Amino acid sequence: MTDTTARVRELNLYRQYFDLVAAGTKTIEVRVKYPHLADLAAGDVIRFRIKGTDETCEVKVKRVTEYPNFESLLDGEGPANVNPTATRDEQLTNIRSVYPQEKEALGALAIEIELVSDSRSQRGPRTRHET
């Protein structure tokens, strides 16, 4: 990558997945291929936030791979990389509870991530509202 300034994206994450990312044990983040993620690339930084809090952690994107659906993503990436605490079938159920069938039809992204050291922060309660 020739650009020396990495783009930083902020994405919400449920607590259970945030904790796995912050511990460095979750190395693949799963997202629907929404238009706003179409240009996500290796070298970008993602700041994960637990929605409604100021608790964040940052990861560096190592790779982004597109799959036609969540099943093929789990088979291609390995369920233990997506969530080491759940079976493949449990993960498929959990992912589909977040992203219904019409969202899955957009395609699935496997985002290989690497925790940025000392990136976790937690501040007091939020004083402003996100729009």
CATH number of 84's domain: 2.30.130.30
Q: Is residue 44 part of a domain?
A: yes
The residues with which 57 forms a beta bridge, in sequence order, are 48
Residue 118 scores a pLDDT above 80: no
What contacts 129, CB < 8 A, 6 or more positions away?
none
Is pLDDT above 50 for 110? yes
pLDDT band at 126 (very low <50, low <70, confident <90, very high): very low
| pLDDT for residue 1 | 46
> How far, in Å, CA of 57 to CA of 121, rounded?
6
Q: How many domains does the chain have?
A: 1
Residue (of 111, 113, 114) closest to 40 by Cα position:
111
60 half-sphere exposure, CB direction, 13 A CA radius: 10
Kindly state whether residue 85 falls inside one of the protein's structural domains: yes
Confirm whether 77 is domain-assigned: yes
Q: Determine, yes or no, domain membership for 41.
A: yes
26 inside domain: yes
Q: Which domain holds residue 107?
A: 8-115
The verdict on residue 121 lying in a domain is: no
Cβ burial 1-34 (10 Å sphere, 16+ → b, else e) = eeeeeeeeeebebeeebbebbbeeebbbbbbbbe
Question: Higher-confidence residue: 7 or 29?
Answer: 29
**Predicted confidence (pLDDT) per residue in 16-55, tens digit:** 999 999 999 999 999 999 999 999 999 999 999 998 899 9
3-state secondary structure of 60: strand
Q: Is residue 96 part of a domain?
A: yes
Distances (CA, A) of 15 to 18, 19, 101: 5, 6, 23
Average pLDDT score over the chain: 89
Taking a C-beta distance cutoff of 8 angstroms, is the pair 55, 14 a contact?
no
Q: Is the pLDDT of residue 128 over 60?
A: no
CA 33 to chain centre: 12
